[in-house]
């Protein structure tokens, strides 16, 4: 696959520590206390648009300090700005378990990239182009969608409480957006990066969490796809 980082399935989840186990709400029944609804427009944009913005952010960061490639959380604040904090997956092989620790400001909403396929254009492959009469948007959406359709299991839990129907948190770009990838990412992140603005789309699974209360929070992840991916991630968040 051309997307060495984004094209490989990944899953993420978030957990907020509550005062006592007995008081922990059942997020599988009612996720609204911690999640922005799927059809909402947090901070003036829908979740598909926030997915576009997270992709632009991830591609813009250099290889040496890219938060997607960061295995420990040391780079999780790189390039972060505005009301929403981007929490990407941990890059790794198809079967993978990873842990990351991050400090996040208390007033930030958190956009969790559960797993996504980012498709910029053009690419070196001469066969990678729309069919006659097909728009570039339709071509890229079909290409990314064929991969993401292979995701067959997503589990997101909060403080041991599972969210329901995680597969329904799938969003894709409503239109082409402009993406500029840092050239240092081209060899191992995405060979389609040109270093200049490129039209692109993203198709993937995302959740946006409302700002967490200050304190320590634990994030655990699990997901699989039909191509043999099996991934578990744990995020340790300090909200301050």
Model confidence over 40-92: pLDDT tens digits? 999 999 999 999 999 999 999 999 999 999 999 999 999 999 999 999 988 98
User: Mean pLDDT over all residues of the chain?
Assistant: 87
Instruction: Give the single-character DSSP code of 222.
Output: E
225 SS3 class: strand
- The pTM score is 0.88
CA distance linking residue 186 with residue 171, whole number of Å: 25
Q: What pLDDT sits at residue 29?
A: 63
Assess whether pLDDT exceeds 70 at residue 97: yes
Average pLDDT over residues 17-28: 46
- Residue 36's region, left for phi above 0, alpha for psi from -120 to 50, else beta, is beta
């Amino acid at each position: 696959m051309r997307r060495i980082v984004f094209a490989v399935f990944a899953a993420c989840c978030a957990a907020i520590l509550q005062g006592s186990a007995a008081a922990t709400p059942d997020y599988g029944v009612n996720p609204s206390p911690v999640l922005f609804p799927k059809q909402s427009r947090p901070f003036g944009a829908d979740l598909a648009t926030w997915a576009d913005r997270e992709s632009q952010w991830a591609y813009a960061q250099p290889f040496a300090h890219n938060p997607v490639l960061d295995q420990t959380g040391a780079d999780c604040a790189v390039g972060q700005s505005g009301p929403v904090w981007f929490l990407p997956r941990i890059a790794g092989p198809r079967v993978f378990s990873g842990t990351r620790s991050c400090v996040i400001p208390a007033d930030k909403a958190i956009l969790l990239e559960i797993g996504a396929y980012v498709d910029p254009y053009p690419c070196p492959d001469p066969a990678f182009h729309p069919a006659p009469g097909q728009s570039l948007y339709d071509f890229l959406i079909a290409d990314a969608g064929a991969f993401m359709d292979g995701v067959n299991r997503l589990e997101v839990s909060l403080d041991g409480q599972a969210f329901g129907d995680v597969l329904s948190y799938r969003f894709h770009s409503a239109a082409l957006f402009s993406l500029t990838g840092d050239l240092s990412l081209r060899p191992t992140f995405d060979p389609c990066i040109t270093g200049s603005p490129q039209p692109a789309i993203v198709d993937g699974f995302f959740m946006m969490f409302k700002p967490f209360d200050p304190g320590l929070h634990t994030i655990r992840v699990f997901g699989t796809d039909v191509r043999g991916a099996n991934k578990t991630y744990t995020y340790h968040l300090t909200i301050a």
